[in-house]
Structure 1
């Protein structure tokens, strides 16, 4: 009799796992379909695409001693500009920074000038970038599957694994 109840417990667990996996696959399918319906405008953008947009809006150039600039040092790293340093001047507010310093700032902040906080990129671009940074998707690995199943069904499944 104990053997029969153990068989039923295994069948129940297998069925539970099967339907959990089926549910997860349906969720992934629906999310993918919803993303394609909303179109490209609301899709998350990668860091590479984000930095490319920054470059298009505010192209970088090389620092030359003869350039007329209001500041001779980068407000992010506080070091002076040296000959041939790559710098980026923001078009909206005319503040200048080292290219790498500003790019790092823009990736960590909400795409604003470090000095005056004016927007460097349109808000929708920034939101889509942060959506990509915070986007977590199930990639199908065994470890994630076990974690998701244990989260769905508690410790019950662990007794049989």
Structure 2
């Protein structure tokens, strides 16, 4: 009799875990379809940055307008022929340094905080980053569920 009770107990536990996962999936699906704005992939985001602030090659003849030969993100000197970006605010940075900054931080100039991209574009990009983070949380939940299943099989 206790074997049947234990079987029903395990079946009940597994059913509850499965229902919780299905509920989470349903909530995520509803949030996805309610989202009225599309997301922007990192590739699209970088392409928009390139359109607004094209990459140029640094030359000593074309000194940056702020009269510095140094990238203010990595603090290293510009070398002849390196790829740089001149922002509309007249600040110049290494292309890779600025791109990393714009992807990780707000889409603003690291020095004066002038906007580099419109808020709508940044919000669409951030939405994708949040989805990626949520998917990571989903993966962690699935790992936890797998661990629980493993524990139930042992007992």
Bin of the TM-score, shorter chain as denominator length: 0.7 to 0.9
Contact kept in structure 2, 1:20 and 1:149, CA below 8 Å? no
CA distance in 1, matches of 2:52, 2:32: 31
CA distance in 1, matches of 2:100, 2:64: 22
Contact kept in structure 1, 2:107 and 2:116, CA below 8 Å? yes
Q: 2:83 aligns with which of 86, 91, 101?
A: 86
CA distance in 2, matches of 1:60, 1:115: 19
Q: 1:57 aligns with which of 52, 57, 61?
A: 52
Aligned residue for 1:144? 141
Aligned residue for 2:152? 160
Aligned residue for 1:77? 74
- Runs (4+) off by over 4 Å: 138-141
Q: Where does structure 2 lack aligned partners over 5 or more consecutive residues?
A: none
Aligned residue for 1:9? 9
Corresponding pairs, count: 149
Q: 1:66 aligns with which of 43, 58, 61?
A: 61
Report the CA distance shift for 1:146/1:107 in structure 2 as closer, same or farther (over 3 A): closer
RMSD over aligned CA atoms reads 2.9
TM-score for both structures, normalised by structure 1: 0.74
Aligned residue for 1:31? 31
Q: Where does structure 1 lack aligned partners over 5 or more consecutive residues?
A: none
CA distance in 2, matches of 1:121, 1:147: 39
Deviations 1:93-150 (A, max 9, x none): 1111111121122122211112211111111222222222232127976x63252699
